[in-house]
Chain A
Amino acid sequence: MSARPLSPTTTAVLKAIAENIRHGFEIMAATALPSGTVYPILSRLERDALVRAKWESPEIAQKEKRPARRYYEISAAGHRSLADALIYYRKLSTGRAAPSRA
């Protein structure tokens, strides 16, 4: 995809989704990011087709007596971007990455 790696917060959110943490509230809890950060990132990830949205099956929701959740799952493109970003940040931590062009 783009030459520019995902931002650290976006990477964190995408990584959480890749680890099967699937909706906004849980992602907030897992990444310890505030709601005002997590939800806009979700909308951008969806726009860029790095994640897909899917509705939770109504049966499960009904069983747990709550509204059906909108679940996010990572796409193939999302996996690639996530891998790129993780490599980039790892290199950065060992000091071998080229400085970002931006």
Chain B
Amino acid sequence: MAYPSGHRRAAAILALASRIVPAARRIDWRREWDAEMWQHLSARPGAWPAAAGAFRHACAIRLQHWRPTMIATDIRHAMRGLVRRRGLTALVIVLLAGGITLATTMFTVINSVLLEPLPFPAADRLMWVFGVSSLNQSAGVSAPDLVDFRADSASFTSIAGFESSAPAVLTRNGGAAESVYTMNVTADYFRTLALAPFVGRFFHGEDEGRNDVVVLSYALWHRRYGADPGIVGQNIMVDGAAAQVVGVLPSAFDRVARSELFRPFDFHAPHAAVRAYHTMGVIARLAPGVWIDRGEAALNITAAQLAHNYPEDRGWRVRLTPYQDVITMRVAGELTLLAAAVAMVMLIACGNIGALLVARAAARQRDIGVRVALGATRTDIVRFALIECLLLGIAGGSLGMAGALALVHLIQALPATVLPRVLEVTISWRVLGFTAAASVASALLFGVAPAWQSARLASLSAGAVSHTNVRRRYRDVVVAGQTALSLVLLIAGGLMTRTLWRLHTTNPGFRAEGVLTAQLTLPAGRYQYDQLAPIWNRYLDAVRVLPGVVDASASNKLLMASFGGNAPVWAPNHPPQDQSQRGLDDAEIDVVAPHYFATLQIPVLAGRVPPGDETDNGVYVSRSLARRLYPLGDALGKPVTWDFGTPQSTTILAIVGDVKTHSLEGTDPEVFYFPKQGMRELLRAMSLVVRTANDPTGLASSLRRTLAAIDPDLPLTHIVTMQTLVSNSAVAKRWLTGILAAFALMSVALAAAGIFSSLAYQVILRRREFGIRQALGAGRRSIGWIIVRQGMTVVGIGVATGVGCAIGATRLIQGWLYGVSATDPLVFTAMIAALIGAALIACAVPAWRAMRIDPLTAMRAD
């Protein structure tokens, strides 16, 4: 029919819309709309409102024909079926819920720790500026360099520096003496983070160098000052001197930093004038429109000028890393590893769910045959199977969500040393979306096989062909895959466990058993430098005579806990060739009180460590350092030069055994020990080490009492046993190993269940065949053998694949291993043996069942 002129488009619209209308009504609809369109085109609004009407009309008719009643019936039937087979349904839901719990928890952690931006405005523009030496080692930035960087750069809205200082001691108002982590920050530090003060103000430029103003963290303000806003403007006692509180930080800051007290950085302090001291942390906020590489290039132009102007800066450049990555980089790899493990466990679980449903669909063959005979189409059968799976998916998904909530709750209790930003780990909408997607996706994943199979069965005439072979091939592939995946997890878990064991048996160079440690800071406002050593001596003498104490000492650096300073150390006849080679000749610097080596039972290998305080001008070196300085082994009594600002020389008085200073891993660090007169300023914050005859934990209160007798305002903090420190040094690794091992065990259990159910199902299917075989004289043992052989062939293929995958995959975890190679034959053999053992047990039960088939009953059935 012709439309009013020029409206071929209208015909196209109707042709398109008519495809929406169900075929049975299409011709009718098209005729109706030919007339309607004709009217519309003659009217003013024209074709477009008509098109809207045509499409809406077509959709409305299509919706009416979608048979919602059928879907409701399907849902009702599916529910009934699922309830009738409660055992199987429960098993499927539990497997699914377990998988979703793991996946949701993992995604929650990854989302909150790695993906969510830090709690600062425009956190993605916040960069950490590392100084990089010519040896490509990352370090901080020196204070004079920071000033130059700050003056030059137009690519940044602000650049700020900070430096953690010795813990400050708070006394008087707010309760008992307490030591808190302290940071010295430049005036624009908080502005760079784009934080607004919760109460009061932050530092101004003129505050820099002032000793009497502080900013409190939100947590400290709450804990010690009862969240009283009136504290701002008042004086508190910090390190024995009055300091005015000018402001309080918002709580968000507590989630990324552990420092609780902030003081202005002093650019006029002696060490702030030395370009060689790369001690400051530097953060920078990129200006709008500037990308990270351009910002880095801009700073490196300045760095090149500095290197040209100052010999100390030769070879140094800077590197920019997003602030968030700096905070999370030590767990990013671990989290990815665990996510991969979760994905593998989930795949194995899905394989089992799919197998269960396939077996069930096969058992329902007759039911489906009846449906087809009564006129159900293939679409109907597939839709019904999919609805069933979606119901299971919804049930498993909601249970899994509940499980994840509980698990996330547990994770929040982890220490921040294991997981940074742990306080920010919360279930978010994004995670809820992920769970919904995961349950629907896995419902579809394991729904595909049974639905497809049901459809196939329905399309074939009932009972004519046996589909056992099709099904078996599918099952075999799944079981082999499960075996391979679980072997990969087992081997990874085994390697990590071996690593932990290695660490456990590593000799740290000292005896940690029976040692109690504590921290003590002598505040600057209270004690002058020359008072520090006498106070320490008084205290240590008092501690040594306490009952149960064998010996006591103190050191600047607490083993396995704090990183102390490094400084270049060399033999005077081998001075460093080049300033740019700094870092190669660094040794750890420690200041020790008398009896230090005796208390920790570090052997003195050569020379003499005097028991008292009489040492003058000499040092002790660790064996590794002695060997580097004097490779011929004649270090004792020789001179040594160290540079902590200006080079100074002294004599080696003794050589002591190597100790692992902050981690059980790696090579023995070179250590340079000063008797305590050596560097007086380091005596302010020392760690007490006390060796006890039996249980060290009971000693804490008498240590405190002894200290209070000397000065009641001094806090003794962080009282822990040395053994705790040693085990804490590997705490993150222990968590990683524990979780991986749990995943590995789970995956083996799931894989064994997969093998078991596959074979058990085979026994049911081949019941008649086995009966006939027996009737014809086959021995029971040969029938059992058929089942075992069938199972173990598949397992063998899985193991071979798994070994191949493991060789590739364990290379990825090499960074976490210590003292064991990524292809350690012992671990590989042991894990393969364990897996084959589990598989044999899983084969044994079905084989035994096959052997007990009674030929008469078997053949009479059907």
| A26 contacts across to B, CB distance below 8 A | 39
| Contacts A37-B56, A67-B35 known; 9 new A-B pairs at CB < 8 A | A23-B35, A24-B53, A35-B40, A35-B56, A36-B55, A39-B57, A40-B59, A40-B60, A66-B38
Q: Which residue from chain B places its CB closest to the CB of A43 in the assembled complex?
A: B60
Within 8 A of B (CB), among A28-69: 28, 34-40, 42-44, 47, 53, 55-56, 61, 66-69
Distance, CA A56 to CA B36, complexed state (A): 12
For A55, what are the chain B residues with a Cβ–Cβ distance below 8 Å?
31
Task: Tell whether, in the assembled complex, residue A36 and residue B35 are in contact, meaning their CB atoms are under 8 Å apart.
Answer: no
Task: Report B760-778 CB contacts with A as 1/0, cut-off 8 Å.
Answer: 0000000000000000000
Contact status B54-A67, CB under 8 Å: no
11 A-B pairs with C-beta separation under 8 A: A23-B36, A24-B39, A25-B36, A25-B43, A36-B49, A39-B53, A42-B57, A43-B57, A43-B61, A44-B60, A61-B35
Contact of A25 with B40 in the complex, beta carbons under 8 Å: yes
Check: B50 CB closer than 8 A to any chain A CB.
yes
Q: What A residues does B38 contact at CB under 8 A? A: 66-67
Also in contact, A69 and B59, with CB within 8 A (given A34-B49, A35-B49, A43-B64): no
In Å, the complex CA distance between A40 and B58 comes to: 8
Also in contact, A25 and B39, with CB within 8 A (given A34-B49, A70-B31): yes
Q: How far is the CA of A37 from the CA of B56 in the complex (A)?
A: 8
Q: How far is the CB of A45 from chain B (nearest CB, A)?
A: 11
**Contact across chains for A67 and B34 when beta carbons are under 8 A apart:** yes
Within the complex, which residue of B1, B31, B35, B56 is in contact with A39, where a contact is CB–CB below 8 Å?
A: B56
Per-residue contact bits, chain B 47-84, to A (CB 8 Å; 1 contact, 0 not): 00110111111011100100000000000000000000
Q: How many chain B residues touch the partner (CB < 8 A)?
A: 23
* Residue B530, interface by CB 8 Å: no
Residues of B within 8 A of A37 (CB): 56
Nearest residue, chain B, Cβ from A68? B35
Tell me which residues across on chain A come within 8 A of B56, comparing CB atoms: 35-37, 39-40
Cβ-neighbour of A70 out of B32, B52, B55, B61 (below 8 A)? B32
From B31, B34, B56, name the one whose CB has the most chain A CB atoms within 10 angstroms.
B56
How far is B63's CA from A40's CA once the two chains are assembled, in angstroms?
Answer: 10
A47 and B64 CA atoms in complex are apart in Å by 8
Instruction: For the complex, give the distance between the alpha carbons of A23 and B36 in Å.
Output: 8
B569 nearest CB across to chain A (Å): 84
If A43-B60, A67-B38 touch, whether A34 touches B31 (CB-CB below 8 Å) is: no
- Tell me whether B39 and A68 are in contact (CB under 8 A): no
Q: How far is the CA of A67 from the CA of B40 in the complex (A)?
A: 13
Bound Cα distance from A44 to B64, whole angstroms: 8
Chief secondary structure at chain B's binding surface: helix
Residue of B nearest to A35 (CB): B53
Complex Cα spacing A53 to B57, Å:
15
Task: Please state if A36 and B53 are interface contacts (CB–CB under 8 Å).
Answer: yes
| Closest chain A CB from B13 CB (angstroms) | 12
Given contacts A34-B49, A35-B49, contact A24 B31 (CB under 8 A): no
What chain A residues lie within 8 Å of B39 (beta carbons)?
23-26, 66
Residue in A23, A35, A43, A56 whose CB lies within 8 Å of B52: A35
**Closest residue of chain B to A70, judged by CB?**
B32
Q: What is the distance, in angstroms, from B67's C-beta to the closest C-beta of chain A? A: 13
Inter-chain CA distance A53–B32, complex, in Å, is: 10
Q: CA of A67 to CA of B59 in the docked complex: distance in angstroms?
A: 23
Chain A residues closer than 8 Å to B43, beta-carbon distance: 25
Query: Are A66 and B35 in touch, CB under 8 angstroms?
Result: yes
How would residues 2 to 44 of chain A score, 1 for a CB under 8 Å from any chain B CB and 0 otherwise?
0000000000000000000001111010000011111110111
Contacting residue for A40 out of B34, B49, B50, B57, CB 8 A:
B57
Chain A contacts of B61 at CB under 8 A? 43
Q: Closest CB of chain A to B84's CB: distance in Å?
A: 35
CA distance A8 to B45 in the complex (A): 24
Measured in the bound complex, the distance between the Cα atoms of B31 and A35 in whole Å is: 17
| B15 CB, nearest partner CB in chain A, Å | 15
CB distance from B854 to the nearest CB of A (A): 60
Question: Quick one: CB contact mask for B14-44 with A, threshold 8 Å, 1 for yes?
Answer: 0000000000000010011011101110010
- Give chain A residues whose Cβ lies under 8 Å from the Cβ of B53: 24, 28, 34-36, 38-39
Give every chain A residue within 8 A of B59 (Cβ-Cβ).
Answer: 40
State in angstroms the CA–CA spacing of A40 and B62 once bound together. Answer: 11
CB distance from B842 to the nearest CB of A (A): 56
A70 & B49 in contact (Cβ 8 Å cutoff): no
When distances are taken between beta carbons in the complex, the residues of chain B under 8 Å from A61 are 35
Contact with A along B830-849 (1 / 0, CB 8 A): 00000000000000000000
- Which A residue sits closest to B39, measured CB to CB? A25
Which single residue of chain A is at the shortest CB-CB distance from B43?
Answer: A25
Beta-carbon contact of B50 and A35 below 8 Å: yes
CA distance A69 to B38 in the complex (A): 10
Interface centre among A61, A67, A69 (most CB of B within 10 A): A67
List, in ascending order, chain A residues with CB within 8 A of B54's CB.
35, 39
Docked-complex contact A68 and B49, CB < 8 angstroms: no
Name the B residues within 8 Å of A44 (CB-CB): 60, 64
Contact for B36 among A24, A34, A47, CB less than 8 A? A24
A56 cross-chain contacts in B, Cβ below 8 A: 35
Q: Is the CB of A36 within 8 A of B36?
A: no
Q: In angstroms, how far is the closest chain A Cβ from the Cβ of B58?
A: 9
Chain B residue at smallest Cβ distance from A37:
B56
| Closest B residue to A55 using CB positions | B31
A67 contact set on B, CB distance < 8 A? 1, 31, 34-35, 38
A36 and B60 alpha carbons, distance in the complex (Å): 10
CB-defined contacts of B28 to chain A, threshold 8 Å: 70
